[in-house]
Structure 1
């Protein structure tokens, strides 16, 4: 078909077929009757047919489409179905033909009926997980592998989407872009793509390809875990013989719509394709130019088609995201994408040879140059000093002699907080501190290009050398011979190599782009003559494998693929590539991470003494007195232990010893610890799926007073829940058993911070005490000021317990817990022997515990939890008001829960959606995990230094994800 026919076809509007005509056609030729729904297309007519016999797609195209082309599509469908691929079947007409040539009111049409594959396309999904992106690439590879053995005369066709015609079609359609700036953008993209593609054309193998395996032409269904699963490939209208790699280029171009501005997000599709159907080197290098051409053809074709057919809603809906595809394709240099694609396919560019180069700084030969560590674990980084502007340069300047930073190092100073995008932390060059006036020479012959005061680039035949910090630099455009003077330094010099002429790279790259940029910007070590390369980071997957090989499997880690975290600061955790994650779940680090007071107190006390609590030292008395000052009047004895589990275990022993009984009431859905005794009273099936079937006979769980999803709901449900307490106690009374007591979190922490109904503990405590039992308040998670409105959780209920247990934030990460009680209860334990805890009451633990209380007071952290917590709760409540999936906001202060439900009436837990939300939050730089028996509640318990800005970033991110759809 000549180009003129191609252009004419590309200008045709979609066929016109009224609903009555479509119904008549179906009855007359297929003996079908049912409802119709338009599916949309750019140049064809697609109608979904729902009838008693099933679901079908009625497809009509212009009669100018050759019958042979459509027969090829039908043959390919049959061929692929024979190989087990999920593609639709053709339903023959009543005359046995799969393809009809009809004339409907003067319109020559070709009509066929295909099986409808149930599912939905992903084209409107704003975010695609990497797994789904990889599946698109993998399916593209499977179809191409299958079609490699398929042949048909109808494959030899001229099609506007065939990339072999892209340049001619772009040239013809360019005037369709009415905006001058947009037209110039497309023209430039096409020119650059042609330049990169031209040398590769003769090396690209051809075969039959689908040429439209996109998010729009694959149908998906969510499985029970809410994960997208492929149901099938549809729309073979672009089937033809062309370059094999063209199929993957179409898939990648479509994925750019979901790339959120980062074209490197397509790389999982490339890796998945390459693993199944390896592409040759020339194909891999041609892939990105083909993507650019595809993006240009998409926008121009839609612009032209919209001018011809302005009522076509399908085109109107698509044109914005097609321009988005082009903009995303232009977001990074083509050279970077080529390297990234090669690396994703397991290959890379050849190394640059610097063997015959002269030294850039000849006067440094034989002199020691200090390497300055600016990485995440640098000993120079402490107490957030890396946040100060110019930190790196000041550190270099402080060195006594010549000093350099390290190429390829992820610098802590470049991190940022409360932002969704990765920080650019990887240094692509080297910064030097040198004696002022140090002379430079050209390492290779080239042309000097001045870039501003003290800046410029030496362009050689094979690479470019970017310099900043020069005095007496050459004139702009001056040709330099190897070894010729290149000026002198003013004391600081940045040096950066780039293997691509005309490309000015950034000095820092994001972690996801670092490997590709480092391939383009190799180390300048050979030109400098001294070591300046960072040690490669440990492979996080290998490290995880080591953990799994030696660490007991029951000790789980967050996330299937957890980030490698080695540093923390305030309410952030920092991975080894310098990304700062907002920590919204770490209630152990109550003061925040890396607090300088904790460093100083622990270091000083370790330098003096650390031993067990049977020795005599001041800290244990001072800390016990501070704890008693926080407790209600009447509390006068303290036990110090290592953890919340030990605190609750000891509380059980105290209750047994004081009451003389062993029977204990606990509350369903609660978690109290992992020891034999505390596991016995824990009934959270999220923590132990066998919890309800494995309780010993001395544990008597009572109904959870869950005012949101329990059997009785609302603030006035206390009496209803107390009936179960009364029934349990009555049963014990009837059997003549002595009650030991009751243990309960005063705020339902493990269920997401749900407040107990007013009056519940007051009545429960009264009934327990009437029977000689003791009342234990488990404050391990919710106490110590975290609730904001109250220091202790039991204050919300207006009660005073007999025993208070505490841990978690007491030591800001140091193993430290406490049991606070009255003398008569404490001394009841003496009949069973003495008690001590090695680390819990040690001098180091006590000094750290005192310091935690001092910092909480001095930095106003309880006040912060109250004031910022109120704002936090209000913002979570706004999510509940605006998004049906957000069912309820629980808690107060910095102990909050956002409960996700699929139905506001049935309260069906949105368990899978909650896990997807947590995974997506991690992508945005936030750590969060689910809680509750159904794992459908965000357990929000950040360090108490968390700011209002961090709260807003967290809630904005949750809202963004809810709006994207789960």
Structure 2
């Protein structure tokens, strides 16, 4: 039997041209139309488009038994009778009624069949597959395997090189075709390891009919609303056999590894989904990873041979790089790690490391009072410090040992010192070891029986159940290879009278050298393999695990639901520095949306100023103190001449609310004009003039009678396009004013953002505000410039947004960045308008003009000046806009780039002519950017615009990282 399937592995594709295939279509099926070849390794497939539909002709060598082809046809019909199964092709009979037709082409005998064509897109060309796609593929495989579980046919007992039961001899036979000596050696080594792990499991691996080729090539998918491919059909049953059930899933998982970006853990959602439909037993779960490794070796070796046999086969040539990548990923991690991760993914518990009781590693030292050094993201050791780096760990441990007799780091801690900024992948932050600073010369003893091995940096004690890795020991001379429990191993190396570093790490797998740190997504699996050494050390060295899920549940229990999170499963972020934020697992994110933190996060100068003022005084503005006068003076100096009076408030909503009250008081009128698509706040009045349906889906139908929205001058997707549309948009205001006149109503004023912030940084058409302001003032109204989002230096080229329009408003509102996250806002206006409010009583804001708020406001302005942040917004913002516009030249999804400085909007559309908004795609792109280390959110009425408004300290390097990650998403998928 072995010889048969090895001989079959050497067969090349049928030699049938497209012209000859057209003749077969016409002669045997009565079909004519354009034909195209489809990829295959050992068959020849042609697609034809006819008036009656699209079909696929499958041409097979006569070497394959006809009963095998009959089994494929029977399986397709069997699956079609099962409810809830994936789509599969229908078998189309020839004109003579036969399912299989024997033909001869240029003296060669072949068997041909016709199937209907299933519409859909394969997954192969998508470099990145989102979790929903991977999970759906796993579920599809599970449903298909379940449907085939009662299918029997004599053609399933076949000899096939792809049958993973024969992977060992197949790879051994094919290795001669692998020319690269290193790759050949790696394949042989990986296969030996996989076969050894499989041998004991084979009796418990269930047999049934399996497709055995549910791969990214052999499924068809339809896009969901987010543009992500969802597999729902299976094609090419050419490898169907009676084989191991778990091998079916192994083939699927192996195909996912070239979409993994080097991380084999991407397969876990597929395994979990398959298992939920068709549960695997313990032996199958343990066998799954070795079978994936075996499949990857078969793929590479087989493709190497097929290229040697058929160098012109574009299908093989196009896939071989993917298959080499699959193999490289499959052998990049220890099998024990993946077997552990697979078991954890389906909720199976693993046996813990047997406790090693009664024997301590350091029998002469009482570690009960050891001082542990916290190096996690919430450690106060890092407050106010520059970004910590790995070299800082030893220094902090040494400092602690100077204050305490003994000091140690913590196991299972996500260390901020290991966080890497501007990285597309999470850093390896999870500590799998413990470092101790102890007196030099302290004795170290074997805690269990084992065999000693010296390494370049220390010792490894291999016991029956675990290996103990030690660094920093001066081993005893003449130490024997075998060590009994309690036997001295050596002492801590170092200068006499000083303290020395001892590193301790356990590992369940005695054949691997574990890493010192693991990435957060891998931490649970590595922690099961490398448990805490606390029982060997005699003290609790374990860091508490983050409880992000429980914390989120507590938030949902008591924090009102309308106060939403960014992201469905938000990271728990507890630290920031400049334009960077870090979650509790040490994952760094580039913050591209936080216009509140205009200076950036954790600015030490601001923190110092706030700390100093809090120690002195904080009260309300009805008391007399210097800072409120000084800050009001500073703000007035920033405004145009005549706008010299300042109200200090707590927020942008409060500022706009107050501005509306000022307009009413100053004019004696009530009715206000505002723009459609605008947003001004959440208070009753500021919400009333907000019309953005992204923020309030009922906005257009619930405005009070005194609010009169006018056409949005959206020069990108409005009814009038481009900068030449000013007159049209100005004219669109006339009907609203005529209606007010007809109703005998007076106009109190007009409020708008001078750059369309909430719509995505869209500039107003040139001269628009000049015309509207003149019209409003002619009717006795006042003009309010909402600068809460777009003003205060963010535009780079201008400090205020209204400057770009060449106008001066009557009232300016500002908040957001002016407090760098502290609750602070302001209204700047004329003395006459401000005094008009007094007839309604005095105004008061508890925190708006407090000493702390005033100091915050002045310090922010000082830092903005000293660090040239407006200039930085101009330079870096212009650079970033050029990068984004370059993406628009390559990707049709990019409709436009709006804005200036560091208030930009990148609008996604499905069609550049119709401007159909790519709402779902934008949400998915934001989720994918989060995975790549960028915080980004959608905005606009259609939620199809990236709102790009980072801290003004954004560096050019960070801007490039954002553009690079966005390019990666658009190129590789989301």
- Structure 2 vs 1, CA of residues 826 and 205 (structure 1 numbering), >3 Å: closer, same or farther? same
Aligned equivalent of 1:176: 177
User: Do structure 1's residue 948 and structure 2's residue 951 form an aligned pair?
Assistant: no
Instruction: Please list, as runs of the form range in 1=range in 2, the aligned pairs for 1:147-158 lying within 5 A after superposition.
Output: 147-158=148-159
User: Do structure 1's residue 596 and structure 2's residue 600 form an aligned pair?
Assistant: no
Larger mean CA deviation between 836-845 and 825-834 belongs to 836-845
What's the CA shift string for 1:1-28, capped at 9, x where partnerless? x222212211111112233433333333
What's the CA shift string for 1:44-99, capped at 9, x where partnerless? 11112222222221111111211111111122111111112221221122333222
- Structure 2 vs 1, CA of residues 585 and 947 (structure 1 numbering), >3 Å: closer, same or farther? same
1:220 is paired with a residue of what secondary structure? strand
Aligned equivalent of 1:451: 455
Deviation (angstroms), 1:843:
2.3
Deviation (angstroms), 1:502:
2.6
Q: Distance in 2 between matches of 1:697 and 1:833?
A: 25
Question: Among residues 866, 877, 895, which one is paired with 1:887 in the alignment?
Answer: 895
Larger mean CA deviation between 230-239 and 316-325 belongs to 230-239
User: Do structure 1's residue 469 and structure 2's residue 472 form an aligned pair?
Assistant: yes
Q: Distance in 2 between matches of 1:136 and 1:737?
A: 63
Aligned equivalent of 1:513: 522
Question: Among residues 741, 746, 753, which one is paired with 1:745 in the alignment?
Answer: 753
The answer to whether the 8 Å contact 2:368/2:538 transfers is no
The answer to whether the 8 Å contact 2:908/2:944 transfers is yes
What's the CA shift string for 1:816-867, capped at 9, x where partnerless? 1110111100011111111111122222222222221222222222222122
User: Do structure 1's residue 92 and structure 2's residue 93 form an aligned pair?
Assistant: yes
Q: Distance in 1 between matches of 2:413 and 2:751?
A: 52
Aligned equivalent of 1:6: 5
1:787 is paired with a residue of what secondary structure? coil
Aligned equivalent of 1:642: 650
Aligned equivalent of 2:542: 533
- Structure 2 vs 1, CA of residues 477 and 35 (structure 1 numbering), >3 Å: closer, same or farther? farther
Larger mean CA deviation between 19-28 and 503-512 belongs to 19-28
Q: Distance in 2 between matches of 1:224 and 1:373?
A: 45
Q: Distance in 1 between matches of 2:218 and 2:827?
A: 63
Deviation (angstroms), 1:173:
0.6
- Structure 2 vs 1, CA of residues 853 and 596 (structure 1 numbering), >3 Å: closer, same or farther? same
The answer to whether the 8 Å contact 2:691/2:699 transfers is yes
Count of matched residue positions in the alignment of Structure 1 and Structure 2: 963
TM-score of the two chains, using structure 1 as the length reference = 0.97
Deviation (angstroms), 1:670:
0.8
Aligned equivalent of 1:272: 273
Question: Among residues 399, 409, 416, which one is paired with 2:413 in the alignment?
Answer: 409
Aligned equivalent of 1:426: 430
Deviation (angstroms), 1:523:
0.7
- Structure 2 vs 1, CA of residues 335 and 605 (structure 1 numbering), >3 Å: closer, same or farther? same
Aligned equivalent of 1:61: 60
User: Do structure 1's residue 773 and structure 2's residue 781 form an aligned pair?
Assistant: yes
Question: Among residues 718, 722, 731, which one is paired with 2:726 in the alignment?
Answer: 718
Aligned equivalent of 1:964: 972
Larger mean CA deviation between 504-513 and 36-45 belongs to 36-45
The answer to whether the 8 Å contact 1:602/1:848 transfers is yes
Q: Distance in 2 between matches of 1:697 and 1:475?
A: 94
What's the CA shift string for 1:633-678, capped at 9, x where partnerless? 1122111111111111110110111111112111111111112211
2:471 is paired with a residue of what secondary structure? strand
User: Do structure 1's residue 72 and structure 2's residue 71 form an aligned pair?
Assistant: yes
Question: Among residues 634, 639, 658, which one is paired with 1:626 in the alignment?
Answer: 634
Aligned equivalent of 2:852: 844
Aligned equivalent of 1:195: 196
Aligned equivalent of 1:501: 510
Instruction: Please list, as runs of the form range in 1=range in 2, the aligned pairs for 1:435-834 lying within 5 A after superposition.
Output: 435-453=439-457, 455-472=458-475, 478-489=481-492, 490=494, 491-538=500-547, 540-834=548-842
The answer to whether the 8 Å contact 1:666/1:700 transfers is yes
Larger mean CA deviation between 904-913 and 508-517 belongs to 904-913
The answer to whether the 8 Å contact 1:118/1:231 transfers is no
User: Do structure 1's residue 114 and structure 2's residue 123 form an aligned pair?
Assistant: no
2:173 is paired with a residue of what secondary structure? helix
What's the CA shift string for 1:148-177, capped at 9, x where partnerless? 111111111111100111111111110111
The answer to whether the 8 Å contact 1:99/1:112 transfers is yes
Q: Structure 1 stretches of 5 or more lacking a match? A: none
TM-score of the two chains, using structure 2 as the length reference = 0.96
What's the CA shift string for 1:357-406, capped at 9, x where partnerless? 52111122365111222111112221244524522222211222201111
The answer to whether the 8 Å contact 1:449/1:477 transfers is no
The answer to whether the 8 Å contact 1:354/1:527 transfers is no
Aligned equivalent of 2:497: none
Aligned equivalent of 2:299: 298
- Structure 2 vs 1, CA of residues 274 and 754 (structure 1 numbering), >3 Å: closer, same or farther? same
Aligned equivalent of 1:36: 35
Q: Distance in 2 between matches of 1:375 and 1:751?
A: 39
User: Do structure 1's residue 375 and structure 2's residue 376 form an aligned pair?
Assistant: yes
Instruction: Please list, as runs of the form range in 1=range in 2, the aligned pairs for 1:318-337 lying within 5 A after superposition.
Output: 318-337=319-338
- Structure 2 vs 1, CA of residues 371 and 386 (structure 1 numbering), >3 Å: closer, same or farther? farther
Deviation (angstroms), 1:224:
3.4
1:471 is paired with a residue of what secondary structure? strand
- Structure 2 vs 1, CA of residues 934 and 665 (structure 1 numbering), >3 Å: closer, same or farther? same
Larger mean CA deviation between 563-572 and 352-361 belongs to 352-361
Q: Distance in 1 between matches of 2:143 and 2:593?
A: 42
- Structure 2 vs 1, CA of residues 103 and 589 (structure 1 numbering), >3 Å: closer, same or farther? same
Deviation (angstroms), 1:511:
0.3
Deviation (angstroms), 1:473:
5.1
Larger mean CA deviation between 366-375 and 191-200 belongs to 366-375
Aligned equivalent of 2:913: 905
- C-alpha RMSD over aligned residues: 1.7
Instruction: Please list, as runs of the form range in 1=range in 2, the aligned pairs for 1:243-392 lying within 5 A after superposition.
Output: 243-356=244-357, 358-365=359-366, 367-392=368-393
Larger mean CA deviation between 630-639 and 381-390 belongs to 381-390
1:34 is paired with a residue of what secondary structure? coil
The answer to whether the 8 Å contact 1:449/1:476 transfers is no
The answer to whether the 8 Å contact 2:648/2:827 transfers is yes
1:615 is paired with a residue of what secondary structure? coil
Deviation (angstroms), 1:903:
2.6
What's the CA shift string for 1:278-301, capped at 9, x where partnerless? 111111111111111111111111
